[in-house]
Amino acid sequence: MKINRLSKLVQSCPTCAGFNWEVSLDTGIRTTFHCESYKLEVKASAKLEALKIQRRLKEIPSLTLEKKKKIKERINAIFALIENEI
């Protein structure tokens, strides 16, 4: 399961053909030394979205307990993913 999630992350990773050419003289060979900063960017974005959802959850009193429980489970899954799997 972790490999599947990471492969989706890698597929969405931006690349720069010009920078690839500058480093390796081949636009098809991707550089990898910016991977850690991209992972941090993804983690920060995911955490921000989870916090926004968490805050909104408190502002919507009309949600049923079951819906709130499902949303909280998803928020916890996001935080677990951020901390452990990326």
Q: What is the pLDDT along the chain (86 residues), one digit of tens a residue?
A: 444 555 666 667 777 778 788 888 998 888 777 777 778 888 888 888 888 888 888 778 787 888 888 888 888 888 887 777 55
**Cα 86 to Cα 81: distance, rounded to the nearest angstrom:** 6
Angle between helix 65-80 and 35-59 (nearest 10): 160
Q: How far apart are CA 55 and CA 46, in angstroms?
A: 14
CB atoms within 10 A of CB 86: 14
Look up the domain containing 31 and give its range: 2-85
Residues 6+ apart with CB under 8 A from 81: 5, 46
- Amino acid 1: pLDDT: 41
Separation between Cα atoms, residue 86 and residue 73, nearest integer Å: 19
